[in-house]
Amino acid sequence: MTCKIDYRASDDLLADRVILVTGAGDGIGRAAAKSYAAHGATVILLGRTTAKLESVYDEIEAAGGPQPAIFPLNFEGATLKDYQEMAETLDKAFGRLDGILHNAGLLGRITPFEQYPPALWEQVMQVNLNGPIWMTQALLPLLKASRDASVIFTSSSVGRKGRAFWGSYSVSKFATEGFVQVLADELENLSSIRVNSLNPGATRTRMRQSAFPGEDPATLRSAEQIMPTYLWLMGPDSRGHTGERFDAQPPRR
């Protein structure tokens, strides 16, 4: 597994690129949106809580980044029609898409499978897997219009090795890894779109805190600290890599 924690991105690494970040209002997505904008990207901030997206928008503007765009969308209720309309809106505004960071995610519940509520299982699959997949299908023509598009799907260590009680979250991440391989293989010789999976590793966010309530957050890397790999994989220095798995930080001991 490759990790680029020591990568140093140039200030203009993502200049003139249009990049969609899902779950951009909080945690890792928030840090990624700000980091991509700080390196020159026009960022489309997608998420379910508009107020959070607006505060990221304000922070990017205050830092002097390119003017971002806000796209409120909840993967739980979104339909194919919503994704199609989204593609039309982005086509009119930008005419292409140079990257997608699929980052939005739902933990569900850490519980024995015997007690896993079916409705919650489906909700997690919808947010972590099905919604992002159909959104990607609708956005493929825009990605094809880019000279160098990078699509990153967020995985997890439990998407690479199953762990007791992690239920649909783990299964959704395994399926994400599978989808990355399928789509990367399909697009490899037909387009300049690369598709890879990225495991952030243990990172100090709201989701991590709810999964491990007894853990001292001070022992974890912040979302800002894991950005080197997010930048490398989104920018031109990772050209030629597709269908691969990456880690944003070395495994914890």
Name the residues annotated as catalytic: 169
Question: By CB under 6 A, which span of 80-88, 144-152, 183-191, 201-209 interacts with ligand NAP?
Answer: 201-209
Strands 42-47 and 69-72: parallel
Q: For ligand NAP, which is the closer residue by CB, 38 or 106?
A: 106
As a whole number of angstroms, the distance between CA 178 and CA 126 comes to: 16
The verdict on 208 binding ligand NAP (CB under 6 A) reads yes
Question: Token pair of 205, please?
Answer: 């966010």
Question: By CB under 6 A, which span of 134-142, 144-152, 199-207, 230-238 interacts with ligand NAP?
Answer: 199-207
| In the complex, least distance from residue 242 CB atom to ligand NAP, rounded to whole angstroms | 20
Q: For ligand NAP, which is the closer residue by CB, 238 or 249?
A: 249
Looking only at residues 25 through 44 of this chain, which bind ligand NAP when binding is defined by CB under 6 A? 25-29
Q: For ligand NAP, which is the closer residue by CB, 90 or 127?
A: 127
As a whole number of angstroms, the distance between CA 164 and CA 184 comes to: 29
> Residue 68, CB half-sphere, CA atoms under 13 Å: how many?
33
As a whole number of angstroms, the distance between CA 92 and CA 55 comes to: 25
Write the binding mask 71 to 110 for ligand NAP: x where contact by CB under 6 A, - elsewhere. ---xxx--------------------------xxxx----
User: Looking at 48, 56, 124, 135, which residue binds ligand NAP (CB under 6 A)?
Assistant: 48
Strands (E), 14-56: 18-22, 42-47
> Residue 209, CB half-sphere, CA atoms under 13 Å: how many?
8
Other beta carbons less than 10 A from residue 23's beta carbon: 28
| In the complex, least distance from residue 49 CB atom to ligand NAP, rounded to whole angstroms | 3
The verdict on 45 binding ligand NAP (CB under 6 A) reads no
Question: Token pair of 66, please?
Answer: 């390119």
With 0-12 / 13-18 / 19 or more C-beta atoms within 10 angstroms meaning exposed / middle / buried, residue 29 is buried
Helices (H) and strands (E) in the chain, counts: 8, 8
Question: By CB under 6 A, which span of 9-17, 20-28, 79-87, 224-232 interacts with ligand NAP?
Answer: 20-28
The verdict on 65 binding ligand NAP (CB under 6 A) reads no
Rule CB under 6 A: which residues touch ligand NAP?
23, 25-29, 47-49, 52, 74-76, 103-106, 127, 154, 156, 200, 202-203, 205-208
